Amino acid sequence: MNSKRSAEILVGLFVAAGIAALFVLAMKVSNLGDFTDDKGYEVVANFQNIGGLKPRSPVTMAGVRVGRVSSISLDPDTYDAKVTINIYPQYDNIPMDTSASIFTAGLLGEQYISLSPGADDFFLQDGDIIDLTQPAVVLEQVIGQFLYSTAEGE
């Protein structure tokens, strides 16, 4: 009976360790931790081209992460990409005339949205639209334009 008891205790420890490992993976390794402070507000930005932007890509202001992309869809009327951004609740004083650009982290890194603040006295609220946007820079286009202009110059 005693060995049975210790076996059961070890099984309990094993199951607990397994669940703890899953918990560590969830909280420490993945971005599931972010979901807990998900109570921010959402604004929409329309881009001509979003390049490689994905849901859950970071949204930064002056390099500080202030939110994340919550969803991306195509606007059926303007054929622009409609990007919904979730901004963390503590950043509730972002000016109305803030502009959004899509940048790439490093030469080949992932893409993110960078917000540059305007000077308006009104702040962005849930459901507002960011009007000033700058599309993603597509590397192939830049190279193409560069080659084209050098070819013209000759």
Closest C-alpha among 59, 81, 64 to residue 72: 81
- Counting contacts by CB under 8 A, is residue 138 touching other proteins? no
- Counting contacts by CB under 8 A, is residue 17 touching other proteins? yes
Q: Which of residues 48-67 bind other proteins (CB under 8 A)?
A: 56, 58
Among 1, 5, 29, 64, binds other proteins (CB under 8 A): 29
Q: Please state the closest distance from residue 58 (CB atom) to other proteins, in A.
A: 7
Yes or no: say if 130 and 44 are a contact pair by the CB < 8 Å rule. Answer: yes
Yes or no: say if 100 and 115 are a contact pair by the CB < 8 Å rule. Answer: yes
Q: Which residue has the tokens 């109570």?
A: 39
- Counting contacts by CB under 8 A, is residue 71 touching other proteins? no
Cβ neighbours of residue 36 closer than 8 Å, sequence gap 6 or more: none
Cα–Cα distance measured from residue 7 to residue 145, given in angstroms and rounded to the nearest whole number: 70
Q: Please state the closest distance from residue 26 (CB atom) to other proteins, in A.
A: 6
Q: Which residues bind other proteins (CB under 8 A)?
A: 4, 7-8, 10-11, 13-15, 17-19, 21-22, 24-26, 28-35, 56, 58, 106, 110
